[in-house]
């Protein structure tokens, strides 16, 4: 169970409510140890629970993690198959603990391309944790921002064609209702590990006003302490959203 809320005073800077993480650097972490890339993916997967478990004390209510992109199919068959098997095992192994820790799990991304066994496990994980009221963990699996916007637009176009939606009613409020993230708030902070300063097709629409942190740490080395330290810098940021503040 989540511990009691932290002891920050009311006038202390508030932390991000929704943190999204591009978990990058598993391959390099493994290569630096002379091991196959999959060794790094396994080490990376083990980090996830530590970071999710840290969320309640840090005031993070939503955590969204990028596990596999629509572009990652371009990797070798061995790596892709190894990752898919890791996802299946990960869900089977971790879900009971997520239920115990009151973590609600959701998946975003294009599901039909994933194998039936994995899809069934994803559905089961979502159902098993649907009553959980603690941290909202969203796992982006076969996710691409452009793919998501395309799929959303297709469904929106179908609604227009069938007369359920009028073209003049399509606006910034309507379109996100068709996105995979329709029940989630926008991310406040997007973190990318491993030193790359790009977003690689992650949450394109949703991150329009997010703050970004690009850090050199490779994902398997991203500890609770590194995460806590990173969030300290967030409170000092002045999020203006285009307005002029006094
Ligand atoms: C991120 O680590 C995990 C996935 C994309 C699945 P990488 O596998 O991209 O690791 P690097 O960037 O090659 O080190
Ligand atoms: C982004 O990392 C995707 C995930 C972390 C799942 P990549 O390693 O695939 O991104 P690029 O290829 O460096 O842009
Ligand atoms: Mg990478």
Look at residue 194 and tell me whether its pLDDT is greater than 80: yes
Tell me, using a 6 A CB cutoff, whether residue 23 lines ligand 1: yes
**Residue in 57, 72, 186, 201 annotated catalytic:** 72
Tell me, using a 6 A CB cutoff, whether residue 24 lines ligand 1: yes
Tell me, using a 6 A CB cutoff, whether residue 22 lines ligand 2: yes
Look at residue 62 and tell me whether its pLDDT is greater than 60: yes
CATH of domain 18-144+186-232: 3.40.1180.10
Q: Say what the pLDDT of residue 237 is.
A: 87
Tokens coding 82? 């190894």
In this prediction, what percent of the chain has a pLDDT beyond 90? Answer: 90
Tokens coding 105? 């799990």
Half-sphere exposure in the Cβ direction for 238 (13 Å, CA): 6
Bridge partners of residue 20, in order along the sequence? 64, 190
pTM summary value: 0.94
Q: Say what the pLDDT of residue 236 is.
A: 80
Q: What is the DSSP letter of 216?
A: S
Q: Say what the pLDDT of residue 14 is.
A: 80
Q: Say what the pLDDT of residue 245 is.
A: 77
Look at residue 11 and tell me whether its pLDDT is greater than 60: no
Of all protein residues, the one whose alpha carbon is nearest to atom 12 of ligand 2 is 200
In this predicted model, what pLDDT tens digit does every residue of 97-112 receive, in sequence order? 999 999 999 999 999 9
Give the list of residues 6+ apart from residue 185 with CB closer than 8 angstroms, or none.
17, 18, 62
Which one, of 58, 56, 121, lies nearest residue 90 by Cα? 121
Look at residue 1 and tell me whether its pLDDT is greater than 50: no
In this predicted model, what pLDDT tens digit does every residue of 18-28 receive, in sequence order? 999 999 999 99
**Residue in 6, 10, 11, 24 annotated catalytic:** 24
Residues in the chain: 246
Q: Say what the pLDDT of residue 91 is.
A: 98
Provide the mean pLDDT of the chain: 94
Q: How far out from the chain centre does Cα 55 lie? A: 13
The dihedral through the CA atoms of 184, 241, 21, 174 has a sign that is positive
Q: Which ligand is nearest to the CA of 69?
A: 2
Looking at the CA of residue 66, tell me the nearest atom of ligand 2: 6
Q: Say what the pLDDT of residue 158 is.
A: 98
72 catalytically annotated: yes
Which helix H or strand E contains 55, and what residues bound it? helix 37-58
3-state SS record for 73-85: HHCCHHHHHHHHH
Half-sphere exposure in the Cβ direction for 78 (13 Å, CA): 4
Residues with CB under 5 A from ligand 3 (ion): 24
Q: Which residue of 21, 23, 27 sits with most ligand 1 atoms within 8 Å of its CB, as the best mutation to test the pocket? A: 27
What ranges do the domains of the chain cover? 18-144+186-232
Q: How far out from the chain centre does Cα 143 lie? A: 10
Q: Say what the pLDDT of residue 3 is.
A: 33
Look at residue 6 and tell me whether its pLDDT is greater than 80: no
Q: Which ligand is nearest to the CA of 40?
A: 1
Q: Which ligand is nearest to the CA of 22?
A: 2
**Mean pLDDT score, 117-128:** 98
Tell me, using a 6 A CB cutoff, whether residue 24 lines ligand 2: yes
**Mean pLDDT score, 68-92:** 98
13/91: higher pLDDT: 91
Q: Ligand 3 centroid to 91 CA: how many Å?
A: 22
Q: At 62, is the secondary structure helix, strand, or coil?
A: strand
Q: At 154, is the secondary structure helix, strand, or coil?
A: helix
Residue 233 pLDDT grade (very low, low, confident, very high; cuts 50, 70, 90)? confident
Q: How far out from the chain centre does Cα 224 lie? A: 17
Q: Say what the pLDDT of residue 12 is.
A: 46
Q: Say what the pLDDT of residue 235 is.
A: 80
């Amino acid at each position: 169970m989540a511990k009691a809320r932290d002891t920050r005073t009311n006038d202390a800077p508030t932390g991000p409510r929704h943190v999204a993480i591009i978990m990058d650097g598993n391959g390099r972490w493994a290569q630096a140890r002379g091991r196959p890339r999959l060794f790094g993916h396994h080490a990376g997967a083990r980090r996830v629970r530590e970071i999710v478990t840290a969320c309640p004390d840090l005031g993070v209510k939503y955590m969204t993690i990028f596990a596999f992109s629509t572009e990652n199919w371009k990797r070798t068959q061995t790596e892709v198959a190894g990752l898919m098997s890791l996802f299946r095992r990960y869900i089977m192994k971790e879900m009971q603990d997520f239920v115990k820790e009151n973590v609600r799990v959701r998946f975003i991304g294009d599901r039909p391309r994933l194998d039936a066994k994995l899809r069934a496990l994803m559905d089961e994980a979502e159902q098993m944790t649907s009553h959980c009221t603690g941290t909202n963990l969203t796992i982006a699996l076969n996710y691409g921002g452009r793919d998501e916007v395309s799929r959303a637009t297709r469904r929106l176009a179908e609604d227009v064609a069938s007369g359920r939606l009028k073209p003049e009613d399509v606006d910034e409020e309507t379109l996100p209702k068709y996105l995979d993230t329709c029940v989630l708030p926008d991310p406040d902070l997007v973190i990318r590990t491993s030193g790359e300063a790009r977003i690689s097709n992650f949450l394109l629409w949703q991150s329009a006003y997010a703050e970004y942190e690009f850090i050199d740490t490779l994902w398997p080395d991203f500890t609770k302490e590194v995460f806590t330290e990173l969030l300290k810098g967030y409170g000092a940021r002045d999020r203006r959203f285009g307005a002029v503040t006094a």
